[in-house]
A and B are shown apart, each in its own frame.
Chain A
């Protein structure tokens, strides 16, 4: 079971890739897999408490995960998780 994780340019260099495949049954598990493989990137995906890093927003299939339980949101095989810097707009 794999989710495709899309990274913005400013984070892609920390993984040397714009997109990754990661296993996991929740968004948190997917992020944990990515963070384990790329620790520097992990610091920009999770804060010290393991919560979503405050300056990124996660979208699971175009939906903000905060409306679906945050890192506890369930993912299915083939889902897309897009990471977007939160400093934009207004």
Chain B
């Protein structure tokens, strides 16, 4: 494969065409994510012989997800959201010891820019896709983090945003969307009701709904988490990755991203085993993996992990396939375990994750207990959102802070009491 230095001259942003992942039918660049022949998902079609950068080329670029632009669905220079990506990969020896694995790292998208979740990645590619297509209105169906990201990225791009969320979302996620001036609509029902509505709205209004008709371009942003893990580990791959699953896209795109870097000869060695984590109160993908069933059975969500509460996940079968083919598996955890996972991560790594992160950590604990993660493993845990957005789930389980007068003797008494 050719790995000469990529051209860097600024050019107008254009979108790549798309191809159906099931039947192979090709389509021009447009706001459409579904094959007209078989209704399968479309993905961008990359030129076979494009010039790819080598490790040194990439290392010289700015620390954002655009350092991997040859694997993103554009030609020309990005217009919006230049600052997203390249979040920290933090080694977590105390967490590794708790899991009983050789080494562990946290891929910390809880500090993603600008909205503190991995959804900044997918919205970065979607908002540039909307720009390339000349769309003036973007939107989404969201469990919260995507709502924050679309509202923020649209605001600074000067686009109008229509954002649809379940009625009962966490207050922080509602505020973190409304503040950007978006048209925010709360829909009675679960996320799957919101998603169905948005699929119909895309037809009706012709908006660029990022996870409906821009979905093929949107999803590619997730691959950059895999690229960053590989580069930040020193151009090598972990043996296992644990990631939360909502619609299932992240796990699928992690597998695609690791594979693309292997084919580009930027990394060597076997692909990581991929483990998907869900809440027991909404675990249709994990149950698909564990049962070996031919079709996914949808569920009505009942969990505190609202950001991953998707009962009818569009990428569920693809995520299940990615996990099984990688040698990985799925794990679901109770709401109590999710809260314990948030606390374990915080107390061993200093990272405060939202409920999806607690799900990931708790799933890793269970996978280690079951012997699926072993003493030889080097594991990356994907932390996709910030705990400041879901403080309500931990507020009541944390110890109350004592109140004292401003006197040394009162603190001395506390110190003596706590040993």
Contacts and interface: CB of A to CB of B under 8 A. Distances in A.
B212 A89 contact: yes
A9 B215 CA distance: 17
Contact of A64 (B34, B192, B199, B200): B192
A50 to B, nearest CB: 14
A85 B196 contact: no
Interface in A61-90: 62, 64, 66-67, 82, 84-90
A8 interface: yes
Of listed B39, B200, B300, residue having the most chain A CB within 10 A: B39
B39 A44 contact: yes
A56 interface: yes
Given A10-B36, A55-B40, A88 B300 contact: no
Interface in B180-209: 191-193, 195-196, 198-200, 203
Interface in B130-147: 141
Contacts of A10: 34, 36, 39
Interface stretch (B92-100, B312-320, B331-339): B312-320
Interface stretch (B7-15, B243-251, B396-404): B243-251
A85 B298 contact: no
Interface residues of B, number: 34
B56 to A, nearest CB: 35
Contacts of B40: 55, 87
B33 interface: yes
Interface string B28-56: 00000110101111000000000000000
B126 interface: no
B295 interface: yes
Contact of B198 (A9, A64, A88): A88
B38 to A, nearest CB: 7
B211 interface: yes
Nearest to A8: B203
B310 interface: yes
B124 to A, nearest CB: 16
Contacts of A56: 39
A90 B249 contact: yes
Contacts of B3: none
B211 A9 contact: no
A55 B34 CA distance: 10
B268 interface: no
A59 B197 CA distance: 11
Of listed B200, B247, B297, residue having the most chain A CB within 10 A: B200
Contact of B215 (A8, A62, A87): A87
B41 A87 contact: yes
Contact of B298 (A9, A55, A66, A84): A66
11 contacts: A44-B39, A56-B39, A67-B300, A82-B200, A84-B199, A86-B39, A87-B33, A89-B195, A89-B199, A89-B211, A90-B247
Given A54-B317, A66-B297, A87-B34, 12 more contacts: A8-B200, A8-B203, A10-B39, A55-B34, A85-B199, A86-B314, A87-B39, A89-B198, A89-B310, A90-B249, A90-B313, A90-B314
Interface of B: 33-34, 36, 38-41, 141, 191-193, 195-196, 198-200, 203, 211-212, 215, 246-249, 295, 297-298, 300, 310, 312-315, 317
Q: Which 10 residue pairs are nearest across A and B when measured between Cβ atoms?
A: A90-B247, A89-B195, A55-B39, A88-B199, A9-B203, A87-B41, A88-B212, A90-B249, A84-B199, A85-B34
